[in-house]
Structure 1
């Protein structure tokens, strides 16, 4: 059965064509989601943060996988961070894909960008009953402000009161080095 994949990315990587290589590959093998027409995105931005959240939430609906396309600045983009955290809350499989190794419209590649999962974290409450969300901003870990945590159960007592970067839980691939064209379907299983 085809997976419905939400692609999270910094819009600059669409302009440079790197994100499009991944989003448009083998379109008959999986059904993509999370494609924002630039005008729809701009209209939502003019309305409010709530309008943007609603747009993202509606695009995440009925998806089971979120693929974060990692360019140079992806890790720092507010709405990419929201898409990751909302996907986590929703229970989507999350994975990262470095795309700077793909030649852009200028025919050049770039140094790999920072892993966004290194800048987001989960923290278990001291009693193990709540999952709190954190982000790394201005040189320190702070409460993630765009989404609240949620109640949980069944957490090992040894994890109570501890925080972990999302990179502990989610794999990151390189589209070129790991042959994404051939292996993407395996990555999303």
Structure 2
């Protein structure tokens, strides 16, 4: 049975990469916001954005942060990470810089988006696993994700139960 997961990513540069990864059959993801829908949500201000994020997280067991070159320390990604952790969801990160975008380009590796969060005195980055898919090209990196994402999700859920 496919796990229901919430995907967090920086929309503008990474939506194609995220869409590619969301198509993996081992997981059932939240529906992406279309540009027009997102405009309606953002016009409602921060409270409306928070409400939308929370509704997208309902019934999800894991949050997958797709880490692109500019994902770390973004306001809404930080909110999604905190909300997922507070909701006792499994949380994991996957670097997606090696997956091609719609123009066939890859990007530079992004920073750890969990590094500035603390769980007591311990950085959240010491608890949450980040995966950097192996392979020499975009297809190989995608295949690494496809072959492992279900076990990564299960590991994240088990890790969250311990903390």
CA drift of 1:34 comes to: 5.0
User: Which of the pair is proportionally richer in helix?
Assistant: 2
1:104 to 95, 101, 107: 101
Q: What TM-score, normalized to structure 2?
A: 0.83
Q: Larger relative CO (CA 8 A, sep 6+): 1 or 2?
A: 2
Q: What TM-score, normalized to structure 1?
A: 0.72
Does 1:52 pair with 2:17? no
Rg larger in structure: 1
Q: Extract unaligned runs of 5+ from structure 1.
A: 124-162
- The alignment partner of 2:146 has SS state of helix
Partner residue, 1:61 = 58
Partner residue, 1:24 = 23
Partner residue, 1:10 = 10
Distance (whole Å) between structure 2 residues aligned to residue 25 and residue 38 of structure 1: 22
| Cα deviation digits, residues 156-182 of structure 1 (max 9, x gap) | xxxxxxx22210110001244471011
Partner residue, 1:188 = 153
CA drift of 1:116 comes to: 0.1
Distance (whole Å) between structure 1 residues aligned to residue 14 and residue 108 of structure 2: 17
Distance (whole Å) between structure 2 residues aligned to residue 32 and residue 175 of structure 1: 20
User: Which of the pair is proportionally richer in strand?
Assistant: 1
